[in-house]
Amino acid sequence: MRNKTKPKSKRSFQSGLPIATEAPVGESKSQRHSDPAALRLAAEERFKGQLAASQTETEADLRRAQHELEIHQVELEMQNEELRATQEERQKALERYSDLYDFVPVGYFTLAADGRMRLVNLSGARLLGIERSRLLGKPLGQFMAETDRRAFETLIAQVFAHSTNQTCEVSLTRQDHAPLTVQTTATLLPGGKECFVVMVDITERKQAEAQLRQAQKMEAIGMLAGGVAHDFNNILAALLLHLGLLQQTPGLSCEVQESLKDLEKESLMAMNLTRQLLVFSRREVILVHPLDLNELIKNLLKMLSRLLSTNIEIVFEPCPDRTLVEADQGMMEQVVMNLCINARDAMPNGGRLTLSTTVIEISASSSKSNPDARPGRFVCLTVTDPGCGMDQSVLKRIFEPFFTTKGAGKGTGLGLATIYRIAKQHSGWIEVESTVGKGSSFRVYIPVAAKQLDNAQSGNDSDELQGGAETILLVEDERSLLRTAALSLRKLGYAVMEANNAAEAFNVWSQHHDQIELVLTDMIMPGNISGLHLAQQLRKEKPGLKVIISSEYEADLATTPFAGQEITYFAKPYEPATLARTVRRCLISAEPGRAG
């Protein structure tokens, strides 16, 4: 038998694909081997079918890949948008931080271990008064006062050595020489190679503390003055009254008369100093009434001639118009006396001291030149001397309390400060012109009074110096002053009944109340009964009783409800003439007043 073998498949020389060896149906074996073109065509058709199927699968994969890429692109865009927003927020935060760092009202400094500046904010540069670019690399200590530089360098060394926060106060030296005090706090930064210094400007706080200390000092002076004023003024009042009585003694030699005048001059200076302390150191409520400044100065001329040196000529040039002001008489007297004493000290070789008064209209435009001035009608008191004058450095400080250019023991520094305060309390102000070697001129402006003086107030004081025959109850806890004041009043013709306290006064009143027409009492007395309370009790029994109350403290009277009570205030210490005028004025007038 013939061995039948399975025919092997053949591959196309073109495509390499297997070609079926069996002939299609209907073809003979001989035809199959004899038509290669048909075979090739069949193979190509079959390949195309497979290729088409392969391409269809590839296009689907491409579409899927493209879709995924599009999704990924959207995600990337969203991430990029978030990243841009984050970057913008970080940039804004950085800008905010830079603004806070630079413009916070605190100086920030980053220092190396040797104290040199590596970073400085704008506020720190402004504190030092130098551009920031010029500060980097320089030691921070070189911008401090010499006395504080060593302390700051020690502070920085301790920060690096012990890693502790350190604080101190230093004064900076700026190019514009502006005084600046800062509180400095240093902290070691992580890594230990740099420290962070914070500077806070405390200049205003230090100035406020200094002002507070000054106010506390003045309060202490006020308490001290108030504590001694009562006894001291009683002594001065008794002394002045005794001197007045002695000067009236006939047959005194010239030497004795001169000695008495010197004693009176020293007593008046002591009285003036006491009043300065009380006016300046206590917040007094002033007691004002219409007052003719010309008349006040005329009445003071005699006293001023005794206070000033004999080589000084006093010239008064009064305004022809009435110079009426709403003012406290005692304070106005203080202004005139202090200005004259200040002028006396400025002219040791003597000369002419000129006092003048004018009524002036201040316009709105002219008032702008002085921050204290204001428009309106004012009485201007001018005191001019040809003395040594003052330079600008002194003029800037003349109204400061305790500032004086006089030697030790020759000035208190309260005179001009007191004048300034009194002018302000009366809604006025003071101006000064001065030239070194040519003299000074002080002008005090006080508003013109809205109402006129009555005849009793503007009359001649010579009538008031006349005594009378009325009966007076004199109440005073200081026995020496009680005896002297009683003697002065008796010399004027009055009948005087004395009482050393309220209990004695009530006892005398119970026996002689029908005869007593006036009560002159001290405001402050031992026990719980004041002079005002005493007067009120006596008024209940005798409503028409005239009352004069004396005190060292104007605030005691200003805070007392005197309105409608027809009570006259009388300031201590006082001279015999003042005592006489006050008593006579009270007896002849039903209006309440203020004397002294």
pTM metric for this prediction = 0.48
Tell me how far CA of residue 544 lies from CA of 328, 439, 547, in angstroms. 26, 54, 9
280, 215 contact by CB (below 8 A): no
**CATH numeric code, 462-595:** 3.40.50.2300
Query: Which residues is 549 bridged to in the sheet?
Result: 521, 569
CA distance 114 to 108: 17
pLDDT tens column, 399-425: 776 666 665 445 556 678 888 888 888
pLDDT computed for residue 316 by the predictor: 94
Give the domain 107-201 fold.
Answer: Beta-Lactamase (3.30.450)
CA distance 505 to 498: 8
Counting as low any pLDDT under 70, the low residues of the chain are: 1-34, 55, 57, 215, 218, 221-222, 225-230, 272-273, 275-287, 367-369, 401-414, 451-466, 552-565, 590-596
The full DSSP string for 384-418 is: EE-S----HHHHTTTTSTT---SPTTS--S-HHHH
- H-type alpha helices, 284-367: 293-307, 329-346
Burial annotation 493-509 (CB, 10 A radius, 16+ → b, else e): ebbbbbbbbbeebbebb
Tell me how far CA of residue 87 lies from CA of 78, 83, 290, 548, in angstroms. 14, 6, 78, 87
CA distance 198 to 67: 60
pLDDT computed for residue 136 by the predictor: 92
Tell me how far CA of residue 11 lies from CA of 102, 342, 408, in angstroms. 87, 139, 136
CA distance 59 to 64: 9
- Which tokens in the block code for residue 33? 């081997």
pLDDT computed for residue 178 by the predictor: 80
pLDDT computed for residue 276 by the predictor: 62
Q: What residue ranges in 240-327 does DSSP mark as E strands?
A: 289-292, 312-317, 324-327
Q: List the one residue out of 514, 366, 372 whose CA is nearest residue 430.
A: 372
Domain 285-453 has CATH 3.20.20.100: no
572, 579 contact by CB (below 8 A): no
pLDDT computed for residue 413 by the predictor: 60
CA distance 279 to 282: 6
pLDDT tens column, 203-240: 988 888 887 887 677 677 667 766 666 677 778 888 88
